[in-house]
Amino acid sequence: MSADTPRRIALLRHAKADWPEVSDHDRPLAERGRKDAPAVGLKLAETGIVFDLALCSTAARTRETWKLAVQEMPHRPKTHYEERLYDASLGELIALLNETSDEVSDLLVIGHNPGMHALADALSGRAEDDTLARMTRTGFPTAALAVVSFTGSWKSVEHGVGTLLDYWTPKGL
């Protein structure tokens, strides 16, 4: 694939987590999260995007979100569990994207806030319809999904490079 290849990145915040007496990294999904995760999987399927790769935080709630969401998708992408997604800053997230192979056209990232919201906001130099207004108004609640497109190499990902194509939350159902 060339450097002028159109690419899409879907940014998914984990579904609603519970607060049992465990470390933050080991928190499981709450009942609502177990309902919202398959719904976001259906939304991912509806996009029609065939993801080449999914990067998922190693935290229990992100892994559980992904396990429930991917069951609703027609194509299961290769999945890489990435420790650096847990508690990643915006700069660290962009650095991770810059490491992505240019063989990957469409990437799904399952992570945490504030990183997922900051990344969606930072990459979106433009937006289709009212997507940016909706994302700004609602923030980036659990199980929120943003899809951003850009053209170029993953090494060229930086602030304002993309167009926010879609923004979805479970409450929008």
In a domain, 1, yes or no: no
In a domain, 70, yes or no: yes
How far is it, in rounded angstroms, from Cα 54 to Cα 108? 5
**pLDDT averaged over every residue in the chain:** 95
Q: In this model, does residue 86 exceed pLDDT 80?
A: yes
Instruction: Return the structure tokens found at 11.
Output: 């940014």
Q: In this model, does residue 16 exceed pLDDT 60?
A: yes
CB of 102 closer than 8 Å to CB of 154: yes
Q: How many CB atoms lie within 10 A of CB 51?
A: 22
User: What domain range is 30 assigned to?
Assistant: 6-172
CATH of the domain at 74: 3.40.50.1240
CB of 129 closer than 8 Å to CB of 163: no
For 91-112, b/e burial (b = at least 16 CB within 10 A) is eebbebbeebeeebebbbbbbb
101-154 pLDDT, tens digit each:
999 999 999 999 999 999 999 999 999 999 999 999 999 999 999 999 999 999
Whether the full predicted model's pTM is greater than 0.85, yes or no, is yes
What mean pLDDT do residues 143-168 have? 96
DSSP string across 141-154:
-TT-EEEEEEES-G
How far is it, in rounded angstroms, from Cα 82 to Cα 127? 28
Confidence of residue 5 (pLDDT cuts 50, 70, 90): confident
CB of 102 closer than 8 Å to CB of 1: yes
25-38 pLDDT, tens digit each:
999 999 999 999 99
Confidence of residue 1 (pLDDT cuts 50, 70, 90): low
In a domain, 84, yes or no: yes
CA 144 to chain CA centroid, nearest Å = 8
Q: Report how many domains make up the chain.
A: 1
